[in-house]
Chains A and B, each alone.
Chain A
């Protein structure tokens, strides 16, 4: 069965530090993968997506993610976080959009 695992429920980083949010998926074929961000009281906004080609994809707000088939992973990265990046981040896979449980990112000033 398809599934998405985000191992970290909460992550705290200092402003200006680098960030990596983990996502592992279970899927029988090459998946379509997405990262969404949700600010408090808002819906989800697409950060980036992967469906084929270059395994390193660039998204909005300076985020990038790398698809690693051998590790069934699609980790989200940002070189230097800003206080405005504090939000909840969701990894999702494929047609019916199976979501992970989310990672809440906290930023220390």
Chain B
């Protein structure tokens, strides 16, 4: 009963490096989301996807890219890591819109030094 799986759990990057945060869900959910969580700021939506091949920007997309080639996977790419991207990143999925709650992964803690 995996749900939403995020890898890695922790990562330290140097400024300017790139990396991909992985997110996979096995619930056949159409909607997937990426959030970042900073202390005292709640969750901010980075990107979301309503289905394979469809992605859209959220509130804070700058510095990130996503793709959705399959229903299961929704990776988040950082091309040129900056200290401002130090955060905890959460991936979530839900079957559809409206009254459907989200299912969250356990997060990826990312530090940019």
> Which residues from chain A sit less than 8 Å from chain B, CB to CB?
6, 9, 32, 34, 36, 41-46, 49, 51-52, 90, 95-102
What is the CB-to-nearest-CB distance from B93 to chain A, in angstroms, rounded to a whole number? 11
B75 contacts partner chain A, Cβ-Cβ < 8 Å: no
| Interface hit among B11-19, B38-46, B65-73, B77-85 | B38-46
Known contacts A43-B92, A43-B104, A46-B102; can you find 18 more A-B pairs with CB under 8 A?
A: A32-B99, A41-B107, A43-B4, A43-B105, A43-B106, A44-B43, A44-B90, A44-B102, A46-B101, A51-B98, A90-B43, A96-B33, A96-B45, A98-B45, A99-B35, A101-B42, A102-B40, A102-B42
What is the CB-to-nearest-CB distance from A34 to chain B, in angstroms, rounded to a whole number? 6
Count: A-B pairs, CB below 8 Å: 54
18 contacts across the A-B interface (CB closer than 8 A):
A9-B40, A34-B101, A34-B102, A41-B106, A42-B106, A42-B107, A43-B90, A43-B92, A45-B104, A46-B102, A49-B101, A90-B43, A96-B45, A97-B92, A97-B102, A101-B40, A101-B42, A102-B40
Instruction: Identify the 8 closest CB pairs spanning chains A and B, nearest first.
Output: A43-B104, A51-B99, A101-B42, A46-B101, A99-B43, A44-B104, A95-B97, A99-B42
What is the CB-to-nearest-CB distance from B41 to chain A, in angstroms, rounded to a whole number? 6
What is the CB-to-nearest-CB distance from B19 to chain A, in angstroms, rounded to a whole number? 20
Question: A44 to chain B: which residues have CB within 8 Å?
Answer: 43, 90, 92, 102, 104
